[in-house]
Amino acid sequence: MLSFICLVYILYFGFNYLALYVWVLFVQLYVFCFMYLMKGGIYMYTAEVDKKIKNLASDIYDKLVAVRRQLHKYPELGFDTYKTADFIANYLVNMGIEAYKVMSGAGVVGLIHGTHSLDEFSNSCDAGITEKNLISTSDKFGKVKTIALRADIDALPVNEENTFDYKSRVPGVMHACGHDFHIACLLGAAEILNNLRHYFKGNVKLLFQPGEESVSGAPKMINEGVLENPDVDACIAAHVWPDIPCGKIGIVHGPSFATLNHFIISVHGKGGHGALPHQTIDPIIIGCNIVNSLQTIVSRKVNAFDPAVISVCSFNAGTSVNIIPDTAVLKGTIRTFDISLRKQLEKLICEISQGIAKSMGAEAFVEFIYEAPPVINDSKITDLFIDSASKLISKDDIITNIRPAMVSEDFAFFAERVPSTYFYLGCRNEEKDAVYPLHNSKFKADEECIKIGASLFAKFVIDFLHQDYT
């Protein structure tokens, strides 16, 4: 009011430095008070949402545990995840969430539209299992952001040795990598977000992907357009991690999973009688020399601060106790976080293998198979996730100095396309015997991690859609 009086004074009596000074002072004070009140309102709004997320996660926890156990009993391999996909799609539809099948019915995509200022859109949408012909909300309401949450859904060819009553009912197949937990976390996040959709504006895509264990599901899913219509602006995923106690999470900036590349070395020598080795060019001896020499690459050719692994995991040669074979075949894997380093390793593998073979009178042919790039966590998205997670769990429970994993993940293909992050969801609990590593026939995890995973997913979605990330 005083600033208005000063302004009238200036207009009526002419310019006056004192009046101008006072007017500017009160304008600044007004702006400061306005921003303070806005900040307080945002804080209260955020606190309200956080409380609702926690309450909803607790309310649906028992249901999510039941979902996880049902999925655990009936695991499916690779791209034969049709029953799993049916279960997921029906679950989403029963919550009123749009869902459609991809990858010939082996995968599922769900879509939640935030209705904050989009009530008209909410009223006009009918949920159901639909074809892939959804209309982006940006077509009706201008550009809004879209975030994708991804869960892998396939199991492993492992015969389960656990004895609980919901152990796998499928002989030789088990959710030994925790993908049943991932599904439960994502379905939980979906239910939370669907209940809170009036708190955010934007789209949430729920990607349930088969074929992760073969590291080939993600590119196939992407090729079917799951990152389009509406276009995805960011993506996030998680993996249960038995090295981290339940209640904690781990996340890193930059590389979090290594490249996945294989090599095949075929050594061609000259076979003959085992009693007359001087008449042969023994590919087994040559292969052994190659294996030993390959192990010097990382220790002598790679900077000690650059993580790299070269492992020969298969050596096949010969069929008889007294016949030196003509050929030997070595197979192995290369893991690193740096594409240029991977190329350097490949060059050295070729030079060493072919050089040793040639020096011993044989030939070596080297083939490389490229499966997946490294998973690189986007710095801005990762920072936002850490800040978001710290609103629900203690900062002490967010481990940011964890070492990246040298295993591989085809989430890398999503991270190549859109800014993404991937975190490790702690699931270890000695009291519940949840101590076995991934891919172990006795693997189990503390089911409390489902509540945490679902909550963190939901919280991050709302925070991402509220901020001005570009």
Q: What is the pTM of this model?
A: 0.85
Closest to 112 (Cα-Cα) out of 15, 207, 194: 194
* Cα 30 to the center of its chain, rounded Å: 46
Tell me the C-alpha distance between 213 and 225, whole Å: 21
Closest to 150 (Cα-Cα) out of 104, 108, 89: 108
CATH entry, 60-258+374-466, from 1.10.1500.10, 3.40.1400.10, 3.40.50.1100, 3.40.630.10: 3.40.630.10
pLDDT digits (tens), the chain, 470 positions? 545 555 555 555 555 555 555 555 555 665 555 454 444 444 445 788 999 999 999 999 999 999 999 999 999 999 999 999 999 999 999 999 999 999 999 999 999 999 875 444 344 344 454 444 333 333 443 578 999 999 999 999 999 999 999 999 999 999 999 999 999 999 999 999 999 999 999 999 999 999 999 999 999 999 999 999 999 999 999 999 999 999 999 999 999 999 999 999 999 999 999 999 999 999 999 999 999 999 999 999 999 999 999 999 999 999 999 999 999 999 999 999 999 999 999 999 999 999 999 999 999 999 999 999 999 999 999 999 999 999 999 999 999 999 999 999 999 999 999 999 999 999 999 999 999 999 999 999 999 999 999 999 999 999 999 876 44
Determine how β-strand 272-273 pairs with β-strand 323-324: antiparallel
Please give the pLDDT value at position 15. 53
Alpha-helical runs (H) found in 79-144: 82-94, 119-124, 138-141
Q: Which residues have a catalytic role annotated?
A: 154, 212
Please give the pLDDT value at position 115. 86
Coil, strand or helix at 23: helix
The string of pLDDT tens digits covering residues 103-131 is 999 999 999 999 875 444 344 344 454 44
CB 308 within 8 A of CB 345: yes
Please give the pLDDT value at position 27. 57
Q: Tokens 């998973």 sit at which residue?
A: 375
CATH topology of domain 260-372: Alpha-Beta Plaits (3.30.70)
Measured CA to CA in angstroms, residue 52 lies from 12, 59, 106, 453 at distances of 54, 10, 33, 15
Please give the pLDDT value at position 118. 44
Count of other CB atoms within 10 angstroms of residue 175: 27
Q: What is the DSSP string of 386-408?
A: HHHHTTTS-GGGEE-SPPPBSS-
Burial of 82 by CB count in 10 Å (0-12 exposed, 13-18 middle, 19+ buried)? middle
Q: What is the DSSP string of 426-451?
A: EEEBGGGTB-PPTT-TT----THHHH
The string of pLDDT tens digits covering residues 146-162 is 999 999 999 999 999 99
Beta bridge partners of 272: 324
Tell me the C-alpha distance between 408 and 419, whole Å: 18
Query: For the chain, what are the domain ranges?
Result: 2-57, 60-258+374-466, 260-372
CB 144 within 8 A of CB 113: no
Closest to 191 (Cα-Cα) out of 52, 47, 14, 338: 52
